[in-house]
């Protein structure tokens, strides 16, 4: 072993933690070996302990006073100690031949020499990935010449979390990851990006298809439809502001179930009638349902309580109610319908939403729109084929046009449709087992709040727990890990932690990271943009990595204030009139009628 690289010797071994005393001979903290400057004692850097037939490797976790063994602190006076230098390392792996493996099969003992790790050693540590299933996302921070690789199989199947403060480079990292996968030119890779802010529209254009509300078709974007009838009952009802009581809810639920049962027959969908509930993703006409429920509330009767006092026939197609003679005063006819449910207020909200153009992606869904009999031209299989069966490796679902108050319901439903489909298709060639799916959840905190029992939380929890078995992997991207559901984060096999300023968030990461590496979490506030600590199953060893920067990196959509304010202000009253008209008519742009 080269004497030049020796830096000290082991003075104590406690489980996995080794205390090293640096030798006095090390004059400088920055020795030069073969023309390369090395720095001793950087948190997160490696040291080597040669044991003859194999080398053990450890990662520096503590340096200086903090690393002085308690016993020495008590026995000797501090002034003597300060001349000596100590550091702690955590053992992480061993090398025999040119093969590096995680974990150690033996311990070193006191007196064993500790050496610097040279570029040659680093290549062994960081190399050794199988080309076919590894991707390169950047370089190892300490040496630009070393590629930072990730094990794709583990990354996808064991889930992954990308965490960091705003502006730390998360979206760029996701872009790099996706590009690296796309560049491998797999024949049928399947990646789905759930993009709440429409940041990824310009990323990887030739490798991706974008589905978006109010799509720019000339630019190749496609319209995003999420047919309302695919929503489970509770999610559907939650689209409309309501304070329904249980009996009203049950009444509506039963009516929807009935409508779905009928439309299953109309559409000749093969399903046992008994299996159909209000939650089953089957088409039905919401306009007809609205019309019938509305009619029931409004009906008035003659004395015989059978003959209806209809004045003007309505029309479900244009959401026009039937009009009845107003009921009489006291006990005179016409009589009210005594069985009415008291849901007219709710039905008014339904009507408003059905007319609101921001909700068109749910209710005005082209071939997925049911006619009054519940018949549609397209089914969910068409949706799945578009989202998951595309010829391009990446599908981006841009949810930026979805109103914030229903975001959780919609994103949750979307994930549930996809996961349920792959789960039930597990034995088919297009199920998740045969064609695994990688789902990227950008800004995951938006719809994955801790403690919430929303459909999105529940679905993501299920995918995190079981997805592996059915070939569905997750990437959770968030700037607020402390708001995320803890069980979900703990299921993420690979953690990519970028710069993180908030102590609360850091303590959250601490709980998800291996014990010996806790001190690496303290590094997080000082990382550069695009730099991160990667630990877990996707990497051979925990690594500090500088991600590449994508040329067409995802763009935040916030307006540039200083730029916008610099524009001339010639807005007239007419333009405010137009604004008010858009608002009143609930539309976002001029629509040709």
Ligand X SMILES: Nc1ncnc2c1ncn2[C@@H]1O[C@H](COP(=O)(O)OP(=O)(O)OP(=O)(O)O)[C@@H](O)[C@H]1O
Q: Which is nearer to Mg ion, 170 or 353 (CB)?
A: 170
Shortest reach from residue 552's CB to ligand X, in Å: 10
The alpha carbon torsion through 348, 447, 221, 267 (nearest 10 deg) reads: -50
446 in contact with Mg ion (CB under 5 A): no
Q: Which is nearer to Mg ion, 154 or 170 (CB)?
A: 170
DSSP 433-502: TTS-EEEEETTGGGG-BTT---HHHHHHHHHHHHGGGGTEEEEEEES-GGGB-HHHHHT-SEEEEE----
User: In the structure, how many helices (H) and strands (E) does the chain have?
Assistant: 18, 25
Residues 470 and 435 sit within 8 Å (Cβ to Cβ): no
Distances (CA, A) of 179 to 298, 319, 321, 393: 58, 47, 53, 10
Cβ-proximal residues to 18 (8 Å cutoff; 6+ apart), any chain = 10, 12, 49, 58, 88, 89, 90, 91, 108
Stretch that binds ligand X, among 34-42, 169-177, 298-306, 313-321 (CB under 6 A): 169-177
Alpha carbon distance 327, 340 (integer Å):
14
Cβ-proximal residues to 210 (8 Å cutoff; 6+ apart), any chain = 200, 201, 220, 221, 222, 396, 398
Q: Which is nearer to ligand X, 164 or 538 (CB)?
A: 164
Q: Which is nearer to ligand X, 169 or 370 (CB)?
A: 169
Q: Which is nearer to Mg ion, 114 or 477 (CB)?
A: 477
Residue 166 interaction partner, one of Mg ion, ligand X, none, beta carbon < 5-8 Å per kind: ligand X
Stretch that binds ligand X, among 78-86, 349-357, 546-554, 563-571 (CB under 6 A): 546-554
Q: What is the DSSP letter of 157?
A: H
Question: 402 to 441, contacts with Mg ion by CB under 5 A?
Answer: none
Stretch that binds Mg ion, among 26-34, 126-134, 170-178, 404-412 (CB under 5 A): 170-178
Question: 555 to 584, contacts with ligand X by CB under 6 A?
Answer: 556
Among 45, 139, 171, 369, binds ligand X (CB under 6 A): 171
Kindly determine how many residues on this chain lie close enough to bind Mg ion according to the rule CB under 5 A: 2
168 in contact with ligand X (CB under 6 A): yes
Q: Which is nearer to Mg ion, 167 or 241 (CB)?
A: 167
Residue 529 interaction partner, one of ligand X, Mg ion, none, beta carbon < 5-8 Å per kind: ligand X
Shortest reach from residue 153's CB to ligand X, in Å: 24
Kindly determine how many residues on this chain lie close enough to bind ligand X according to the rule CB under 6 A: 16
Cβ-proximal residues to 530 (8 Å cutoff; 6+ apart), any chain = 138, 168, 169, 172, 173, 498, 546, 547, 549
Q: Which residue has the tokens 């590449």?
A: 548
Residue 393 interaction partner, one of ligand X, Mg ion, none, beta carbon < 5-8 Å per kind: none
Among 130, 166, 377, 575, binds ligand X (CB under 6 A): 166
- Tell me, letter by letter, the H, E, C secondary structure of 507-524: HHHHHHCCHHHHHHHCCH
Residue 168 interaction partner, one of Mg ion, ligand X, none, beta carbon < 5-8 Å per kind: ligand X
Q: What is the DSSP letter of 211?
A: E
Shortest reach from residue 197's CB to ligand X, in Å: 8
Farthest-apart Cα atoms in the chain, separation: 110
Residue 172 interaction partner, one of Mg ion, ligand X, none, beta carbon < 5-8 Å per kind: ligand X
170 in contact with ligand X (CB under 6 A): yes
The residue nearest ligand X at its CB is 530
Shortest reach from residue 138's CB to ligand X, in Å: 7
Shortest reach from residue 446's CB to ligand X, in Å: 11
Question: 110 to 149, contacts with ligand X by CB under 6 A?
Answer: none
Q: Which is nearer to ligand X, 195 or 516 (CB)?
A: 195
Shortest reach from residue 555's CB to ligand X, in Å: 8
- Tell me, letter by letter, the H, E, C secondary structure of 101-121: EEECCCCCCCCCEEEECCHHH
CA angle 346, 351, 354 (to 5 degrees): 125
Among 530, 536, 538, 542, binds ligand X (CB under 6 A): 530
String marking each residue 124-163 x if it binds Mg ion according to CB under 5 A: ----------------------------------------
**How many other CB atoms sit within 10 Å of the CB of residue 405?**
10
Cβ-proximal residues to 348 (8 Å cutoff; 6+ apart), any chain = none
Shortest reach from residue 527's CB to ligand X, in Å: 11
Q: Which is nearer to ligand X, 388 or 550 (CB)?
A: 550
549 in contact with ligand X (CB under 6 A): yes
Stretch that binds Mg ion, among 164-172, 299-307, 431-439, 534-542 (CB under 5 A): 164-172
String marking each residue 463-492 x if it binds ligand X according to CB under 6 A: ----------------x-------------
Residue 299 interaction partner, one of Mg ion, ligand X, none, beta carbon < 5-8 Å per kind: none
Specify the DSSP element, H or E, that contains 150: strand 147-151
Alpha carbon distance 259, 316 (integer Å):
15
DSSP 234-272: HHHHHTS-----HHHHHHHHHHHHHHHHHHHHHTT----
Stretch that binds ligand X, among 126-134, 208-216, 306-314, 549-557 (CB under 6 A): 549-557
Closest to 130 in 3D by CA, of 146, 148, 151, 110: 151
Given strand 394-398, what is the order of strands in its sheet? 147-151, 134-140, 543-547, 531-536, 494-498, 160-163, 472-478, 437-441, 191-195, 394-398, 208-212, 222-223
Alpha carbon distance 510, 481 (integer Å):
11
Cβ-proximal residues to 167 (8 Å cutoff; 6+ apart), any chain = 529
409 in contact with ligand X (CB under 6 A): no
Among 5, 62, 85, 171, binds Mg ion (CB under 5 A): 171
Shortest reach from residue 479's CB to ligand X, in Å: 4
Q: Which is nearer to Mg ion, 171 or 189 (CB)?
A: 171
Residues that bind Mg ion (CB under 5 A): 170-171
Residues that bind ligand X (CB under 6 A): 164, 166-172, 479, 529-530, 547, 549, 553-554, 556
């Amino acid at each position: 072993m080269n004497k030049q690289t020796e830096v000290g010797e082991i003075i104590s071994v406690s489980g996995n933690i080794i205390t090293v005393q640096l030798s006095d001979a090390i004059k400088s903290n920055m020795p030069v070996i073969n023309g390369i400057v090395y720095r001793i004692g950087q948190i997160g850097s490696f040291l080597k302990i040669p044991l003859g037939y194999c080398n053990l490797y450890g990662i520096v976790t503590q340096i200086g006073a903090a690393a002085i063994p308690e016993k020495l602190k008590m026995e000797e006076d501090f002034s003597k100690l300060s001349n000596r230098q100590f550091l702690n390392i955590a053992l992480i792996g061993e090398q025999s031949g040119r093969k590096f493996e995680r974990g150690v099969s033996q311990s070193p003992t006191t007196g064993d020499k500790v050496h610097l790790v040279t570029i040659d050693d680093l290549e062994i540590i960081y190399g050794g990935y199988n080309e076919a299933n590894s991707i390169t996302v950047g370089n190892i921070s300490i040496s630009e010449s070393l590629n930072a690789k990730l094990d794709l199989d583990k990354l996808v199947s064991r889930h992954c979390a990308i965490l960091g403060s705003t502006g730390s480079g998360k979206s760029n990292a996701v872009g790099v990851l996706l590009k690296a996968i796309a560049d491998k030119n797999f024949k049928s890779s399947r990646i789905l990006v759930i993009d709440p802010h429409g940041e990824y529209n310009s990323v990887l254009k030739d490798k991706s298809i974008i589905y978006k509300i109010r799509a720019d078709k000339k630019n190749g974007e496609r319209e995003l439809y999420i047919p309302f009838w695919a929503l489970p009952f509770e999610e559907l009802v939650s689209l409309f502001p309501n304070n329904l009581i249980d009996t009203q809810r049950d009444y509506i639920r039963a009516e929807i179930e009935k409508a779905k049962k009928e439309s299953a027959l109309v559409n000749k969908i093969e399903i046992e009638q008994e299996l159909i509930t209000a939650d089953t993703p089957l088409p039905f006409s919401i306009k007809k349902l609205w019309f019938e429920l509305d009619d029931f509330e409004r009906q008035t009767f003659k004395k015989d309580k059978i003959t209806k006092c209809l004045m003007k026939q309505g029309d479900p197609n244009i959401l026009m109610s039937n009009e009845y003679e107003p009921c009489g005063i006291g006990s005179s006819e016409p009589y009210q319908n005594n069985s009415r449910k008291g849901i007219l207020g709710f039905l008014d909200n339904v009507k408003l939403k059905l007319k609101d153009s921001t909700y068109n992606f749910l209710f005005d869904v082209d071939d997925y729109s049911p006619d009054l009999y519940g018949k549609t031209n397209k089914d969910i299989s068409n949706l799945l084929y578009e989202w998951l069966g595309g010829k391009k490796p990446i599908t981006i679902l841009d949810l930026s046009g979805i109103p914030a108050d229903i975001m959780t319901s919609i994103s949750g439903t979307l994930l549930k449709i996809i996961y349920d489909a792959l789960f039930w298709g597990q034995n088919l060639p297009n199920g998740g087992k045969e064609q695994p799916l990688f789902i990227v959840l950008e800004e995951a905190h938006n719809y994955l709040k801790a403690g919430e029992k929303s459909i999105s939380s529940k679905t993501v929890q299920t995918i995190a727990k079981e997805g592996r078995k059915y070939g569905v992997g997750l990437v959770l991207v968030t700037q607020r890990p402390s708001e995320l559901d803890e069980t979900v984060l703990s299921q993420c096999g690979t953690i990519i932690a970028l710069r993180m300023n908030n102590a609360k968030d850091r303590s959250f990461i601490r709980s998800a990271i291996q014990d010996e590496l806790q001190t690496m979490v303290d590094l997080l506030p000082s990382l550069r943009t695009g730099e991160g600590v990667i630990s877990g199953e996707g990497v051979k060893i925990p690594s500090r990595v500088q991600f590449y920067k994508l040329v067409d990196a995802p763009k935040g959509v916030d307006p540039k204030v200083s730029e916008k304010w610099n524009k001339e202000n010639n807005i007239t009253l007419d333009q405010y009139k137009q604004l008010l008209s858009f608002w009143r008519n609930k539309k976002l742009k001029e629509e040709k009628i």
